[in-house]
Amino acid sequence: MLTIAPNPPDGSRQDGAVLPVTRVRIVGPSMAPAMLNDEWWVVRRTSVLRPGDVALLVHPGRPDLLIVKRVVRREAGGWWVLGDNPAASDDSRQFGVVPDANVLGRLWWRYRPIRRGSAH
C-alpha cells in the first residue's frame, strides 16, 4: 500500500491543471534496502521508463492499489517489474507484466526523511 498526497494519482487539481509531479509515501518492505518504509518520494509523471527505473504503478490485478517496483525489462504487453526485497514483494512473478496504461511515473527524489550521510 502507498500513500499519495495531496494531489491525486492522475495529477489533476481542483482548478483542472495537471501537475508534472506528485509525491508518494513508501509503505512496507518490498523495496528495501533502496527505499524504506515511511520515506516520501517525488514522482515525475511519465510513461517513459528504462530498465532499472523505479516506477509508481497501478497494480494490474487490483486497480485500487498503487505499487512501487523496479522496472526490469520490456515484455509483450507491458513491463516486467520486481521488488528489491523478493521475500517481501508482490510483483511480476505473481501478477505478470504491468500494462503501459498502469504506469503513473518514475520515482525521482527522496525528500523525507533525510538520512544522515546519504547522497539523497
Residue type, 12: S
Q: Choose the CATH number for 3-112 among 3.40.640.10, 3.40.50.150, 2.10.109.10, 3.40.50.300.
A: 2.10.109.10
pLDDT digits (tens, 9 = 90+) for 41-56: 999 999 999 999 999 9
Chain Cα centroid distance, residue 103: 8
Q: What are the residue ranges in the chain where pLDDT is below 50?
A: 1, 3-7, 120
The pLDDT of residue 14 is: 53
Query: Which of 51, 54, 93, 90 has its CA nearest to residue 74?
Result: 51
Q: What is the pLDDT of residue 35?
A: 94
> Mean pLDDT of all residues in the chain?
86
The domain locations on the chain are 3-112
For residue 2, what pLDDT is reported?
A: 53
Enter the pTM of the model: 0.79
Per-residue DSSP letter, 8: -
Place of cell 520486481: 82
